[in-house]
Amino acid sequence: MQSLIRRTLMSRMLLVWSLVLAATFIYTRPAMAEYGDVVINNYSDAAGMRPAVFSHWFHRVRFACKVCHADLGFKFKAGGNEINMLKIIDGKYCGACHNGNIAWSVSNCNLCHSGKPGTPTQVHESTMQELVAPAKSTVTK
């Protein structure tokens, strides 16, 4: 009787263990950037630069939302501010801080322009992006 129980237990454990192994290798998840990272690709592709990636969390730790969105005039819209290098060098938008004084200067191109070429303008991992959308749609914000 005991050996029967033991055999049943063994076979059940084997089944469970094989399921465990299967789960390990079959279950994969795609890479996910940080929530709130904004890819800005209005003009970058055309200029041969990688799109700029702005990370909200990094700035949120240092500045209240109001500083950029009320004082510096950033609209709540990815790509909606029409930022270009001329404006930045003029001290507008990003250039208000990224001038070598408050933050790194404009000569560090690829600290900002770090996105994969061709990535469309988006707020990464936003609710809009994560909606169940038809496969052929490219959700841009």
Partner 1 sequence: MNYLSKLMQFALLTALLNMPAAIAATAAKETTAKAAPAASAAPASQAQTAAATPQPISFNRLMRVAPRRHLPPMEDGIRDPANAETQTLQAPLEVFSALPQTPSGLGNGVNWPGALYDGKIKPRWDRNDPTAEPMVMDMSVVRVPKSTMPDVVFPHKQHTEWLDCSNCHPDIFVPQQGANQISMAAIILGQKCGVCHGKVAFPVSECRRCHSQPKQVDAKGGAKP
Partner 2 sequence: MTGRAAALYFTLLSLAVAPLHAEPQVPAAPPVAAGAAKQSSREVIQQKLQLVKMLLSQATAIERAAGSDDPAINQQSAAALALYAKANSAFNEGDMAEAEKLLDEVLRLITDISRLAPDPAKVEAEQRARYAEVLENVRGIQITYQEMRKDISPGDKQLSVIDANLERTSVLLNQAQAHAKGNRYKEAIFLLDNAYTAGVSDLNILMGSAVKSYELKFNSPVEEFAHEVTRYHSYEELIPIAYAELKPGEGNIKLSESYVQESRNGRDTALKQAAGGDHQTAIGTLQEATKRLQTALRTLGLTVPE
Binding residues for partner 1, how many (CB under 8 A)? Answer: 65
DSSP 4-30: HHHHHHHHHHHHHHHHHHHHHHH----
- 106-125 residues in contact with partner 2 (CB under 8 A) are 106-107, 109-110
105 in contact with partner 2 (CB under 8 A): yes
132 in contact with partner 1 (CB under 8 A): yes
- 48-77 residues in contact with partner 1 (CB under 8 A) are 50, 53, 55-58, 60-67, 69-72, 76
The three-point CA angle 80-38-116 to 5° equals 110
Nearest to 78 by CA among 56, 105, 110: 56
Residue whose entry in the numeric block shows the structure tokens 């303008």: 121
Q: How far is CA 43 from CA 75, 81, 82, 92, 105, in A?
A: 18, 12, 9, 17, 20
Task: Specify whether the CB–CB gap between 121 and 39 falls below 8 A.
Answer: yes
**Binding partner of residue 96 among partner 2, partner 1, none, CB cut-off 5 to 8 Å per kind:** partner 1
Report the residue from 10, 14, 15, 33 that binds partner 1 according to the rule CB under 8 A: 33
Q: Given the rule CB under 8 A, which residues bind partner 1?
A: 9, 12, 16, 19-20, 23-24, 27, 29-37, 39, 50, 53, 55-58, 60-67, 69-72, 76, 96-97, 102, 108, 110-111, 113-120, 123-133, 135, 138, 141
